[in-house]
Amino acid sequence: MSSEIILTIRKELEKNADKSTRESGTHFFKEEVHLYGVKSALVGKIAAQHFKSIKSLPKSEVFALCAELFQSDIMEESFIACDWAYALRAQFEAADLSVFEGWVSRYIHNWAACDTLCNHTLGSFIEMYPQFLANLKGWTQSPNRWVRRAAAVTLILPARKGLFLADVFAISDALLLDGDDLVQKGYGWALKEASRMHQAQVFEYILKHKARMPRTALRYAIEKMPPELRARAMQK
């Protein structure tokens, strides 16, 4: 079953691959990425279509399929793995964190895969099991840039709802001087989303830390703020 469905998906992706889509997709990344060249909307349809045939399987078997897709290091396959994992969110258990952490540390090699997995699957998991926010804070010390970015971008959707403000600040503190611009963008994005519901608190945080905050992170954090606040935040 597993080999058959993965093989079928790969053939379908190959059939729908487009050279111009592949070439344009690579322009968004500084690091090397591997793409079939299938438009994201069609990848989503393929993921949904084939999920119908596996949704009755035990969660462990679906997760094994996700791992097999991730291991290919091909963007479209990683997106399907992310969609399938998120589709099982009602079945998430505390023990699943070790599975998700393993995926991030072993299989994630670009910001798109990182954000797709973390925004949805891990973000939902943390809302269900907030006791593991401490684990996210530990990820900020990882030598792996994608694990560090994951610590921040896992909180994007919860922060948009107004959740976990203190934890967004704690993770931003830990990553404040990170020299990797993709990590900087990650925590800057988390601050930006937190400002939707907590504008005054986030603005105060930015003013307090902006002297040390890399400009990349600062730009992300203030992107959606009112013009007068953005101007004040950017003043030296």
> Which tens digit of pLDDT belongs to each residue from 169-216?
999 999 999 999 999 999 999 999 999 999 999 999 999 999 999 999
Considering the entire predicted model, what is its pTM? Answer: 0.94
Checking if the pLDDT of 33 tops 90, the result is: no
Distances in Å between the Cα of 73 and the Cα atoms of 14, 107, 187 are 15, 7, 25
Checking if the pLDDT of 1 tops 60, the result is: no
Pinpoint the residues of the chain covered by CATH 1.25.10.90: 94-236
Across 55-66, average pLDDT: 96
Percent of residues, the chain, with pLDDT higher than 90 = 89
CATH 1.25.10.90 fits 94-236, yes or no: yes
Checking if the pLDDT of 163 tops 60, the result is: yes
Sequence-separated (6 or more) residues with CB below 8 Å from residue 160:
193, 194, 196, 197
Cβ neighbour number for residue 199 with a 10 Å cutoff: 14
**pLDDT value at position 62?**
97
23 token code pair: 């070439």
